[in-house]
Copies of this chain bind each other. A is one copy, B any other.
Amino acid sequence: MATGRTHRPATRSRGIPEATVARLPLYLRALTALSERSVPTVSSEELATAAGVNSAKLRKDFSYLGSYGTRGVGYDVEYLVYQISRELGLTQDWPVVIVGIGNLGAALANYGGFASRGFRVAALIDADPAMAGKPVAGLPVRHTDELEEIVTENGVSIGVIATPAGAAQQVCDRLVAAGITSILNFAPTVLSVPDGVDVRKVDLSIELQILAFHEQRKAGDETAAVRRTGTAGRPAAAAREGRKGPDGDVPAVMPA
């Protein structure tokens, strides 16, 4: 039982670099927008700008998929949308279960971008018996006891964990035992999973802390370079010391 590696094995899957895979959804989104505006073709330059990346990088990324462009013209939007969708496996429907229907779980359940992007919420699962049967986003919440049954019957291979940190590993183990091989983890915990199971982690607190680091740095540079925006680099609130409350097991984004 390998210890949870939060990211993919460094191994590139089928020759497509992991970094490229991570950008494909970005391109797909930009392309979908163009498609809706009935734009027939785009150049790598335009598309790159729309996706917020470098055009050389975009071209290199696409080159891993094949030669889908026409020199002197650009890329056919519809065709590219199809190719990327296929590459990402979005031409099929992925049933997903969400475990932990607190504030965040409910928010995820209501997420409109699910169905339209190839994902379907198969079930919402919560440990609280009081929640059972209660409709959230049009689906009745099921109790944790039924987890294995739900996963098996619906052929679910992707699970979303939105439980408090304390419950995450246990839920993860049950999901994996039930046959799930991909997990999106919102709980602030390092999950341990067997080989062959992918885990991706989303952590609000970590993102904020990274921002704080850079923010602090900017404030420290105060004396040096003057910021372009006159108001930036504000002194912020007074520093205090005794921080560090008791929150070891705080849920990701959960009921207080």
Contacts and interface: CB of A to CB of B under 8 A. Distances in A.
A181 B233 contact: yes
A51 B120 CA distance: 32
A36 B245 CA distance: 10
A149 interface: no
Interface stretch (A68-76, A110-118, A125-133): A110-118
Interface string A80-106: 010001011111111110000011101
Q: Give the interface size class of chain A.
A: 35 or more
A237 B158 contact: no
Given A112-B250, A254-B111, A210 B200 contact: yes
Interface string A240-256: 11011111101111111
A188 B107 contact: no
Contacts of A234: 155, 157, 179
A46 to B, nearest CB: 12
A13 interface: yes
A210 B240 contact: no
Contacts of A95: 236-237
A205 B24 CA distance: 12
Interface in A178-214: 178-179, 181-184, 188, 190, 194-198, 200, 202-214
Interface stretch (A56-64, A139-147, A215-223): A215-223
A174 interface: no
A228 B181 CA distance: 11
A208 B248 CA distance: 27
A26 interface: yes
A253 B217 CA distance: 31
Given A52-B4, A112-B251, A233-B181, A85 B243 contact: yes
Shortest Cβ-Cβ A-B pairs, 6 listed: A89-B216, A116-B245, A179-B231, A103-B107, A52-B190, A116-B247
